[in-house]
Amino acid sequence: MEASFNDKHYELVVACKRGDRQSQFKLYNLYAKSMYNTALRIVQDEAEAADVLQEAFIDAFTRLDSFRQESTFGLWIKQIVINKSISSLRKRRLPLQSLDEEDEIAEEETEDSHIEWKVEAIKNAIHKLPDGYRLVLTLYLLEGYDHEEIAHILRISEATSRSQYLRGKRKLLDYLVN
């Protein structure tokens, strides 16, 4: 059974495909803030996130004819934003430590999970993480990708994705506890 998507902005997308600039502006305004936040979580720089957002929308509107509306416009533009954000990080030479499949790390559950952290403390701790840890942690926890998808997006092994996630999670907890 195929998944069915009900895109509430279907008519706006159709109008954009016809070249309606007002519809493009409306679509931009509907998604710009959330897509900027997605980019900012990944690149950790406001100016760079703004650049990523701009490039993503230019790319989306340029390639809108190839959008077959098999998913929502929101899902489609989010994938573009994430890919552009990752490309931006790669330009900075994002270091990811590669691991062999045999070096997988077992996930540990922490007893401190019941502690309520303040949002600002968590944001600051995430910001302190090395790019590799932060990127995988963001894609996994905040964007909802699984390790197979992250491995595909970042062109790394699933084991590397899992280890980056687990190490990032440990380091994040260390930052929050100390």
Instruction: Let me know whether 143 and 164 are in one domain.
Output: yes
Residue 111 reports pLDDT greater than 80: no
Task: Express as a percent the part of the chain with pLDDT over 90.
Answer: 33
Mean local confidence (pLDDT), 121-138: 86
Name the region of 113 (left: φ>0; alpha: ψ -120 to 50; beta: rest).
Answer: alpha
Instruction: Let me know whether 15 and 65 are in one domain.
Output: yes
In tens, the pLDDT along 18-41 reads 989 999 999 999 999 999 999 998
- On whether residue 1 sits in a domain, the answer given is no
Check which CATH number belongs to the domain holding 122 and give it.
Answer: 1.10.10.10
Task: Output the six-digit token pair for 108.
Answer: 């540990």
168 vs 96, which has greater pLDDT? 168
Instruction: Let me know whether 79 and 142 are in one domain.
Output: no
Give the three-class secondary structure for 42.
Answer: helix
The domain in which residue 64 lies consists of 10-91
Instruction: Let me know whether 45 and 80 are in one domain.
Output: yes
The total number of structural domains that make up the chain: 2
The pair phi, psi for residue 174, each rounded to 5°, is -60, -45
- On whether residue 162 sits in a domain, the answer given is yes
Most trustworthy range by pLDDT among 26-30, 42-46, 65-69, 172-176: 26-30
Nearest alpha-carbon partner for 131 in 162, 90, 99, 177: 90
Distance CA 109, CA 176 (A): 16
pLDDT on residue 101: 46
| Final residue of a structural domain among 32, 64, 91 | 91
Q: Average per-residue pLDDT in the chain?
A: 82
Instruction: Let me know whether 77 and 141 are in one domain.
Output: no
In angstroms, the Cα distances linking 135 to 7, 53, 141, 147 are: 28, 17, 10, 12
Instruction: Let me know whether 107 and 150 are in one domain.
Output: yes
154 vs 81, which has greater pLDDT? 81
Question: Residue 96: pLDDT band by 50, 70, 90 thresholds?
Answer: low
pLDDT on residue 62: 92
Classify each residue of 113-143 as buried b or exposed e, where b means 16 or more C-beta atoms within 10 Å of its C-beta.
eeeeeeeeeeeebbeebebbbbbbbbbbeeb
- On whether residue 172 sits in a domain, the answer given is yes
Nearest alpha-carbon partner for 69 in 30, 22, 21, 12: 12
52 vs 152, which has greater pLDDT? 52
Distance CA 122, CA 116 (A): 10
In angstroms, the Cα distances linking 57 to 61, 71, 112, 164, 173 are: 6, 17, 41, 30, 35
- On whether residue 96 sits in a domain, the answer given is no
Residue 74 reports pLDDT greater than 60: yes
Residue 103 reports pLDDT greater than 80: no
Check which CATH number belongs to the domain holding 49 and give it.
Answer: 1.10.1740.10
pLDDT on residue 21: 92
Instruction: Let me know whether 85 and 28 are in one domain.
Output: yes
